[in-house]
Amino acid sequence: MFRPHPDILFGQTALCAPRTVDGLPVLAHDEATLIDRMSITWGREDHWDQPEPATIRFTFFDPTTDWALKIGTNNAIGLGVHVSIRLPDGHGIAEAPTGTYVIFQGFTTKVEAERRRVNTTAGKRTGWVVTVTAGDRTSALGNVPFTFENWPPERMIDRAIRLRDRAAGVGIRQFYFDADHVNGTVSALEVRDLTGLDVAQQLYTSFGHQWTYHPNRNVVIRIPEHRFPDSPHLVDTGDGTVIPRMPDLADWTGAEDPIDRAVHVGTAVDGCTVESDAHLSTDQLSYVTRVECKWQNRHDANRTILTYQTKLFAVAPFRTLKYDSWFDDGITVDPVLQRTADKAFYQESGPHHPAITYRTKPFGGFTDAKHAVWFLTPAERRGYAFLSGSPWIADLGGVPPIVTPCGGTITYAAGEWTVTTRLLRGHRTTIGTGLTWAVVDGSLTWDAPAPARRFADPVTWGDTWFIRDPAIRTA
């Protein structure tokens, strides 16, 4: 099992964990110490919403007057906050070659301090209990002004560079979108009292996309379409139990740096180890039947055009998804609309799995580094988990038990993690037949010959329908 602890650095302050005296946590008398939970809130409530910037909140004991003075002298806001975990040797995470994985980057937005007497390693001491709230780097885009400017017709890549360069002080390395359309032309734009956050929203909306900030890669990317080939495979967890797991998958968006080309981790989630409410719901956004795009046609004196696509066999009244696009040529608008319609009509159609909660305390940690990174990354990406033994998946019939996070809370308190994750379903791009009993029986040795292999407790026969490869890999 793997139980990481967060390394928190903000301003020039590095937090240590409480020390243990007589089995109880005690605060250090000579350095800043995390004394209350660290909690990250991230993502979106609905699969068509633009996500809010991630926020973090934590409380620590400062035995000095440093942070009281920062507050008193207006030097506590806008300080960098950096949170990471150290991965074990042989972790297998391609985007963490140094063994450090970043789960939050941003800036302080609120700092409060209360003078208090506490128990420390040197007895009772008086100091300051400081509570810090910070937003991720995208929250600072709201402070980047774009005022009274006229932007000419240009390529989408050039407009994205405008945003990146103007927002250089925010420290986001790059803004990535679909490589297919980097040279697509966009219409002239009158910029009136917009912020960097507004411009980013409009840029990604032009693709019918939502966007997310990935703290370990330090880039903004479009939220990927949740499509995958039938590629889950069987893995021996080390004690002879076999569980389906998703492989690592690459994202074709962005390739400026080697880390951008690194695969996103896939994992297995044991349905017996997570909690979830017995709840399933849907709404109109889960059953979109028409998609409309409004744009200006440069071949027709920039006349405003409404292009739409209707789901096959759908009848009025339609449940319509609308978006505005900067693109000014049907040669780009049409394929973008087609991909948005495919996403609305099929990939995002229907109910999604209820949120799940994983707690490390009952199990001694995460199963491995990939399991930890999948739960602790506050960004949507092409990283999927095979969720074995879910009764909701079984009841829906034919829905693959393959999910990806889209938001939630990540909490660290008293040396343990509690992660609540909202989920989106993956969408199969290929169809085939599942494993037959004869094939399964030949792959699993059960009791003999060695190694004795058997399915893990959460695996159902319904899960095996989505496995195409009978080969058993090692974890």
pLDDT digits (tens, 9 = 90+) for 369-415: 999 999 999 999 989 999 999 888 777 767 788 999 999 999 999 88
- Quick check: 48 pLDDT over 80? no
Residues 197 and 84 in one domain: no
Inter-CA distances, 371 with 44, 103, 125, 168, 254, Å: 22, 14, 40, 33, 25
Q: What is the mean pLDDT of residues 91-118?
A: 95
State yes or no: pLDDT of 23 exceeds 70: no
User: Above 90 in pLDDT, residue 442?
Assistant: no
Judge whether residue 341 has pLDDT over 70: yes
Asked whether residue 372 falls in the same domain as residue 269, the answer is: yes
Q: Is residue 200 part of a domain?
A: yes
Answer whether residue 328 shows pLDDT above 70. Answer: yes
Model confidence at 132: pLDDT above 80: yes
Q: How many CA atoms lie within 13 A of 216 on its CB side?
A: 29
169 with 63, same domain: the answer is: no
Judged against a pLDDT cut of 70, whether residue 21 lies above it is answered with: no
The C-alpha angle 126, 131, 137, rounded to 5 degrees, equals 145
φ, ψ at 145 (rounded to 5°): -85, 140
State the DSSP code for 45.
Answer: S
List residues bridging with 460 in a β-sheet: none
- Of all residues in the chain, the percent with pLDDT exceeding 90 is 61
Question: What is the residue range of 54's domain?
Answer: 7-136
Q: Is the per-residue pLDDT at 175 higher than 90? A: yes
Q: Are residues 390 and 256 in the same domain?
A: yes
Hunting for tokens 């973008």 — which residue is that? 336
Is 312 found in the same domain as 442? no
DSSP class of residue 198 equals H
Domain boundary (298, 322, 347) is at 347
Residues 370 and 242 in one domain: yes
* pLDDT value of position 424: 87
Please check whether residues 38 and 124 belong to one and the same domain.
yes
Strand partners, 123: 120
In a domain, 115, yes or no: yes
Residue 52 lies in a domain: yes
Inform me whether the pLDDT recorded for 224 exceeds 90: no
Q: Is residue 102 part of a domain?
A: yes
Q: What is the pLDDT of residues 263-321, one digit of tens each?
A: 999 999 999 999 998 777 777 777 899 999 999 999 999 999 999 999 999 999 999 99
Q: 43 and 127: one domain?
A: yes
pLDDT band at 246 (very low <50, low <70, confident <90, very high): very high
Tell me whether residue 1 is in a domain.
no
Confidence band for 135, pLDDT divided at 50, 70 and 90: very high
For residues 368 and 235, what is the distance between their CA atoms, to the nearest angstrom?
13
Is residue 210, in this structure, part of any structural domain at all? yes
pLDDT of 119 reads 82
Output the CA–CA distances (angstroms, integers) from residue 27 to 69, 353, 442, in the order listed.
Answer: 21, 41, 57
Domain total of the chain: 4
34-38, 110-114, 370-374, range with the lowest pLDDT? 34-38
| 446 pLDDT more than 80 | no
Query: Residue 191 falls within a domain, yes or no?
Result: yes
| Same domain? 370 vs 443 | yes
The tokens 């399933």 sit on which residue? 280
Question: Which comes out higher in pLDDT, residue 38 or 400?
Answer: 38
142 pLDDT above the threshold of 70: yes
Single-letter amino acid, residue 94: A
Tokens 């009244």 correspond to what residue?
317
| pLDDT for 344 | 87
Q: What is the DSSP letter of 254?
A: -
Report the DSSP pairing between strands 385-388 and 267-270.
parallel
* pLDDT of res. 432: 62
Mean pLDDT of the chain: 89
Last residue of a domain, one of 86, 112, 136: 136
Judged by average pLDDT, the poorest of 91-105, 168-182, 218-232, 280-294 is 218-232
Res 94: pLDDT: 93
Boundary of a domain, candidates 85, 106, 136: 136
Say if 2 falls within a structural domain. no
Q: Label the pairing between strands 185-186 and 189-191.
A: unpaired
Q: Is 249 found in the same domain as 182?
A: no
Asked if residue 395 and residue 297 are part of one domain, the reply reads no
Tell which wins on pLDDT, 2 or 283. 2
Q: Band of the pLDDT at 169, cuts 50, 70, 90?
A: very high
Same domain, yes or no: 127 and 61: yes
pLDDT, greater one: 361 or 286: 361
